[in-house]
Each structure stands twice: as structure tokens, then as C-alpha cells.
Structure 1
Amino acid sequence: MTKKRYDPIQHIGVNATEKIFLKEFGWITRRILESDMGVDMEVEICVNNNPTGQLIGVQIKTGASYFKTDRFGDVIYRGSQTHLDYWLNHSLPIIIILHNPDDNSTIWQKITSETITNTSKGWKVEIPIKQTLNHKAITEISEMNKFPIYFQRLQRLGIHRKLIERIAKGQQIVLEIEQWANKTAGHAHTKIIKVSEKDNEDKLLSEGGYVHFSPEQDVYTIFPWAEFEIDEEHYNDYDSDEFYSNYGVWDPEEKVYAGTTISWQEYVSGLPRIRYMDTGGGEIYFYRLIFSLNDLGKAFITMNTYLENGNQLKLLI
């Protein structure tokens, strides 16, 4: 039997959760499509529409069956010990969200050692039925990640570890960005894609939505361990059309370009390293960027390899 890529019912809950964070919280969401064992989404806290770099990990469960309450009016969620260990040791604070598609209700709870109760059969977490995921929860959830900026950068290394390891192994990973230039203050949709070497079929690893997004600067904030260059194969036709449109000498009789006012080399040398293709008549800017590791990313891989080989690091103060 072929394994499903995702459960359609679960997808309803993910969509509902994303809508709440985007519209009621005004926060940035990034879905994780390649299973990260217990995390469906990362959410970045924003203040006055400005990203703070503070991230929350989210696990989402969908279905009316999750909403059976005990005599105190709490929903009891039980999970595997493997998931609990993963959540409690995750580099991000984790919340669990339950969504009921029957009445569109959505509730949440922190996953911490304080909210977890060990039982004879494993563990459980109590979620008050009235603890709704809405704008009233902004302050409490925001307080979950108040770490210093240097620790937040370490968090990004931790949550992107699988991606960094893929790149270090030589896999071609690209970042696609669609930015609505004249709408919603720089609203953008991003996809992280693995390019197949065998059949050239791209595999979607994750995607997300952003507001007030400036690709040329913000990609380095989101991925502080990466360098980027354009995927030249995808830009060739667009760059050629732009070159002749701006610098071509048109022969109206032959209906061809008779030459150009500058050379192709001059034109290419003046192009930004990270640039877009206008795919929507000035409305949509499309980027396709290839990941590589910078010194921070390479050092992270070296350190992890060192530790995985049984070595220890000593901190001298």
C-alpha cells in the first residue's frame, strides 16, 4: 500500500491554524512538509508587523475525536514517548494545537515539563476546552521564546539541521520566492525544494508565507548559515529578453534585433547577485535561488560530525 504524503483531514487543521496565526496574530507561518517527526509548522512572532526572530514549533492534530472532555472540562491528549522526548528536547518551544473541523474550534497548550503528567501507561497533557487559539493568546505564547538574539541564531541552526546536512552532502536545494510587489506590504510565499538528479523532478520540502518581506535582505536573516546564487538555468530566457528589450537595436524591416548598444558581458556584470524575474507584469516577482553553506553552516556541520564521532567539547570560562 502506498503511503499517503499527508492526511486530508490533518491538512484542514493545518490550514485553519495557519489562518489564525496570519490573520489574528499577524505572525509568520512556515509549514514543514517533509516530516520533522512531531512539528508541522514553525511560527515567527511579529510585533507591529515586524519579525522578531523568535520562533515557536507547532504540532497540529485534527478531528472531533480529540475533543472528548473529562469531568473537569479539559481535553486530554496522549501521545508516544518518542514524540514527547523530541518535543521536550527541541531547540524551539513547542505548542500542541487541536482543531475540530465539525465546529471549527481550535485549542492549544504548551508542551513543557510543567504541563505534562506521567501516567502508568505513558503521559498526558490537559488542554482546557476554553483555551482557544485566538488573539487573546498572543501574550502568553509570545512569552515562550524570549531568548537572546545569539541563542535565536543557534535555534535556527538546530531547526534547519536536516536542510544543512542535505546541502553538505551535495544535494541541490533551491529557495523559490513569489513576492506580490504592489499588494499587502511585500507579502511573499516561499518554497524550499530538493532538485532530483535522476529525473529532474523537484520535491517540495517546506513552504511558508511572509509579510513585509524583502528577499535580498531577509533570506540571510531566515537562513544565517547560507549563501545564495540565482539558478541561472531558470533565469536565462528572462535575462535574455530583458537584455534585448533594453539594449537591443531593432530592425523593423527584417523584424529582428540587428545588434545591441552594450555587450552581454557588460549587461550581466551589472546585474545584482540576487534578483527577481517579473512574472506578473509588475505584480509578482519570482526568485529561484540555490543554497550553499557559508562559514557558519560549515562550522555547524563540522561540530556535529565531531560530536557524533563520540568527541566532547569543553567550555572554558
Structure 2
Amino acid sequence: MTKTTDQTDRAGIHAVAGIFTKLNWAFREQPTSDYGIDAQAEKISRDNTASGKLIALQIKSGASYFRKRGNDFVFYGEERHREYWANHSLPVFLILHNPETGLTLWQRIERHLIEEGTGGRWAIAIPADQTLDAEHEHFIHAGVASDLASQKRFRLALDLPLIQEFAEHEIGFMAIEDWVNKTLNYRGTSIVFGEDPDGEVGMEVQAWMPGYSIDYYMAVFFPWLEWKLYQYISEEEGAYEVAMHVLQVSLSDVGAAMLSLEDYYKAELPPFKPEREIMQIRDDRDEDDFYGS
């Protein structure tokens, strides 16, 4: 049976998540981004805590994206994404995944690598041997900034559509898988909007990382949510090896502040109107006053 585009996209995101987690990176899907960013990945430190070294990923899944040019491949991009990716304060990586062969390649989006086309189109070459694996992981890690304030601003900007989604609902519930016998224990997250925790799942987020506690997981991936534990389902009660943290969540002050800032950014300045008193003072000055005579 032929896979749909959505199935191919999902397969690619799942495959790339698996590769990054094997390389000891926390991976979180970005399901509602307006910026052409599909996921975030953050290097995990040796003590299994988040390092603050964050990158953004644009994931393209399907054999059709592997367009040969000489010995390498070439990707053709859209104008609306080029400036955002190239000017971003944090690294943006393009990932190509072929679900038929399992080949996964990467390229960092940098202005000097972009070839300008006509009508806003652009292209970037991807070396055929630039595979996403342990051999090349240090090249990705080496160029990642670690400024914590920038990382937080970046995350909030990417999360804005998701924050806006939560703002439309007073409360919601998150069910977070905890694979208790795995190093990368926190994995898939299902979100239900509304007051019924057993309601229809409105969104699923691939968010994988090792974590000592659910507090740490939420602080890293969802710092703009207030939450409390609604139910804990142990691995003995639920699926084999998988416990479940069910959290009741709502937008926090951080999330509300982000929405207020977005309103401020979008608001137009009021029309300029000189104050009448100032105009009257100017009209009353004579020529001698003006020239200081």
C-alpha cells in the first residue's frame, strides 16, 4: 500500500527522533510551528541533564527529496523560510530521510552555502557522505551555542503557536510515557484539551529525553505551563515497561506574558498628532525669540 504524505512525514520524524536519542540528544517535535521548524534537539550532558546546546531541525522525509547533483544531493527551498533560517540566532539543520533505504543526511543552513535562484527560490548542496550518525555527530555538536537566555527566547518563539492553542482552553491534560527500564525514559506525549482527561486526543508530541523526574521534563520542554499530577499509572498497572504521568495543565504566567508580547509586537503605533499646547507655544514665539535676538 502506498504511504500518504502524512505517513511519510511521520515516519521521517520518528526515524530522526530515534537517531538523535541514540546519540544522546533530547528530541522534541514542533507540531505547530509557523517557521518551517519541525523539531528541536538538545545535547544531553554526561550527567544526563540538558546541556542548553539546542538546535532546530527541518525534516524532509521521502525519496523524492534526494535529488542527485553530481556525487551529492541538492535541496530546493522556499523563499519564506530562507531568511528566517539563515538569520536565526541559533543553528538550523536540514535533515533528509529516505524511509525506503533508511539513509539520513544533514546540512546546516548557512548563508554562504545557499545558492540563490530566480523568483526567490534557493538551493543548498548536501554531501552524500554527510550522514546523521555517531561518526558525524561531533560536527553538529561543535557549532552549537550554549547561551541559556538565547535558548529560552528561541524555545518560546518556536512554541508560540502551541501556547496560543493552549490559551484557547482553560485547562487540558497531558499523558507522558515513562519507559522505566530505558535510559531515554520520557518519550511520547499526548494532549487532550478540555476538562475530560479521557477525551479525544487533540495533539501528540514526540518529546524524548532522559530525565530524573517529571518536574525536570516539564521545565525543559514546557516551561510555559502550570501543571499538577492528576494520575500516575505505574508500569505494573499499564503497558509493560511503560508508566504514564497524567498531568492537568494550564497556561502559566510565562505563557501569558509571551502572548502579551506577541500582541505588542503586532500592534501598530498610534497616529502622530502634535499636542495642541506645544503647537500654541510655537505659534506665539516671535522672530526674535526664534533667532535668539
Structure 1 length-normalised TM = 0.72
In the alignment, does 2:247 pair up with 1:297?
no
**Kept after mapping to 1: 8 A contact 2:90/2:145:** no
- CA apart distance, 1:89: 5.2
Q: How far did residue 6 of structure 1 move?
A: 5.1
Q: Which amino acid aligns with 1:58?
A: L
Which stretches in structure 1 are left out of the alignment for 5+ residues? 236-275, 313-317
Distance 1:139 1:297 in 2: 34
Residue of structure 1 in register with 2:284 after alignment: none
**Structure 2 counterparts to residues 11-26 of structure 1, below 5 A:** 11-23=10-22, 25-26=23-24
Identity %: 31
Distance 1:63 1:190, change over 3 A: closer
Counterpart Cα distance in 2 of 1:284 and 1:102: 30
Q: Is the contact made by 1:115 and 1:125 (CA closer than 8 Å) also made in structure 2?
A: yes
- Report the equivalent of 2:275: none
Change (3 A) 1:151 1:218: same
In 2, Cα distance between equivalents of 1:97 and 1:136: 16
Contact 1:177 1:190 survives alignment (8 Å):
yes
Cα 1:224–1:5, aligned 2, differ >3 Å: closer, same or farther? farther
Deviation at residue 279 of structure 1 after TM alignment: 4.9
1:199-210 correspondence runs (5 A):
200-210=199-209
Matched with 2:75 is: 77
Partner of 1:277: 233
Alpha-carbon distance, 1:63 to partner? 2.9
In the other structure, the counterpart of 2:276 is none
Amino acid at match of 1:133: L
Following superposition, the deviation at residue 168 of structure 1 comes to 2.7
Provide Cα deviations, 1:255-302, integer angstroms capped at 9, x if missing partner: xxxxxxxxxxxxxxxxxxxxx232525954321212223332222222
**1:250 aligned residue:** none
Contact 1:175 1:191 survives alignment (8 Å): yes
Query: What is residue 51 of structure 1 aligned with on the other side?
Result: 50
2:73 touches 2:126 (CA, 8 Å); kept in 1? yes
The residue aligned with 1:286 is: 244
Q: Which residue matches 2:265? A: 307
Amino acid at match of 2:115: T
In the alignment, what sits opposite 1:101?
A: 99
Q: Matched residues in 2 for 1:43 and 1:82: separation? A: 23
Give the residue type in structure 2 aligned to 1:150.
A
Deviation, 1:33, is 3.8
Give distance in 2, aligned partners of 1:31 and 1:168.
20
Q: Which amino acid aligns with 1:64?
A: A
Q: Please state how far the C-alpha of 1:5 moved relative to its aligned partner.
A: 8.5
The equivalent of 1:30 in structure 2 is 28
Measure the CA separation in 2 of the matches of 1:221 and 1:152: 11
The 1-side partners of 2:4 and 2:169 are apart by 25
Partner SS, residue 207 of structure 2: strand
1:189 pairs with 2:187 = yes
AA in 2 matched with 1:176? A
Distance 1:185 1:17, change over 3 A: closer
Would the alpha carbon gap of residues 311 and 207 (structure 1) be closer, same or farther in structure 2, given more than 3 Å must change?
A: farther
Gaps of 5+ in 2: 271-293
Q: CA 1:8/1:170 → structure 2, altered by over 3 Å: closer, same or farther?
A: closer
Deviation at 1:101, TM superposition (A): 3.3
Closer/same/farther in 2, CA of residues 36 and 279 from structure 1, 3 Å limit: farther
Q: Secondary structure of 1:78's match?
A: strand
8 Å CA contact 1:12, 1:101 repeated in 2 = yes
Alignment of structure 1 residues 109-188 onto 2, 5 Å: 109-121=107-119, 122-170=121-169, 172-181=171-180, 183-185=181-183, 187-188=185-186
Secondary structure at 1:131 match in 2: coil
CA RMSD, 1 decimal: 2.9
SS of residue paired to 1:69: strand
